[in-house]
Chain A
Amino acid sequence: MMEEPTEVIARLSKRTQALDWLGLFARLALGGVLFAAGAIKIPTPYKAAAAMRAYELLPNSLASFFGYILPWFEVGLGLLLILGVATRLSGVVGALLMLLFIGAIASAWARGLSIDCGCFGGGGEIDPNETKYLQEIIRDIALAICGFYLYFRPHSRFALDNRGK
């Protein structure tokens, strides 16, 4: 039986609504984690810098520098996502940041380092059997998916981006 045009519109708008809610979820998941991760690290910048140096990927002073600024960047990006401002750009930047983290963690794992990712404070050398590389990578993959989803479908519920004139 053919659908009436009104039914089609109703069905599509239901689907749109569901996707909007999904967008909100993606924003809050990625934005919330970024915001929390940054906010936890801001009071202890030395620790954040040390966690960055422990990856042994960058020259010492550059690693310290990024360790100092990364928490602030995470807080800013998290705020934009939570508020739903420039969702598409924030989403893709967040996703690329997650890919960067995945690469760094995987590289630490492959080089046989035993470090904590330092994602939520902490970081640095830990006991070899206390490493959690796989869990850290899986979590970051899930967050990267949230970011890419927002890139491809930035519209979501309760976003400042939606505000009409």
Chain B
Amino acid sequence: MASKNNNRGPQRGGRNNQPDPITRWIVIGMVSLVVIIGAVFTIVSNKSSSNVALPPGASKEDGYGIVFNADKTPTINIWEDFQCPSCKRFEQTNGSKLYELIQQGKAKVVFNTLSFIGDESVVAGMGGGCAADQGKFLEYKKFLYDNQQEEHSGTWTKPYVISMAATLGLDETKFAACLNTDKYRKWLTNVADAGGKANINGTPTVVIDGTIIESDQQGINYYTPEGFNAQLVKYGIK
């Protein structure tokens, strides 16, 4: 049956109903062009570049994250997106513990800002770099999580984030100049590219000395203080 239909194809009714090759080829050409340009654009714009403005404390060797206590061991990387609800949970559970480790010099702590949930993550992430310019990355980060809205709620526009920074006591003019010029947009692209190479497929992801610690697997749960501390103890942090 199939082959019978197959043989008839477009020439039904005996009419000389040949397909129109020009229109077809134009459409095929245009679609292919869009696909190729789009794909190349996506690959190129997600590649990290070398001459990029980095915020103070950011280091290429640490996935372009912002580093605290560069000379200490072990190294804890926190890959996060300021817009992700689980990252807020993680921050509220373990943020103070991490700040304590930083203050007491018990570990090297690196915050890698990913921004893949959407544009608001990019605005908030660039703001992280601008806050680091003024030495207030951690305060900014905590403040953002404390005031986090639902994903894609449209809250974190540039003017809104600038007003948040002002509330935090950052120099509003400097912060606005930094954010409005997208000074750290390419930095975020570099962080994202580094995250891809480090096989970071979700947020938050905790990496200690290069080992990805996945929550909810093999009895690991870092959404409780005890669960997170248990992981730290494994790497000699008490």
Contact = CB atoms under 8 A, between A and B. Distances in A.
B2 A152 contact: yes
A83 B117 CA distance: 32
Interface residues of A, number: 45
Contacts of A45: 42, 46
Given A44-B118, A50-B116, A124 B201 contact: yes
Contacts of A125: 201-202, 214
Contacts of B2: 152-153
Contacts of B210: none
Given A42-B38, A60-B196, A155 B202 contact: no
B27 A160 contact: yes
Interface stretch (A66-74, A92-100, A101-109, A134-142): A66-74
B199 interface: yes
Name the residue in A49, A60, A83 with the highest tally of chain B Cβ atoms < 10 Å from its Cβ.
Answer: A49
Contacts, number: 115
Contacts of B115: 46
A46 B202 CA distance: 10
Contact of B199 (A60, A75, A153, A163): A60
Interface in A76-91: 76, 79-80, 83, 85-86
Q: Which 8 A-B pairs have the closest CB atoms?
A: A76-B35, A46-B116, A163-B20, A69-B39, A50-B201, A72-B38, A124-B202, A72-B39
Interface of B: 2, 5-6, 8-10, 12-13, 15, 17-20, 23-24, 27-28, 31-32, 34-35, 38-39, 42-43, 46, 114-118, 192, 195-197, 199-202, 214, 216
Given A160-B20, A163-B24, 19 more contacts: A19-B5, A42-B42, A43-B118, A46-B46, A46-B195, A47-B117, A51-B201, A60-B196, A72-B34, A72-B35, A73-B39, A75-B34, A76-B35, A152-B2, A155-B9, A160-B27, A161-B10, A162-B19, A164-B20
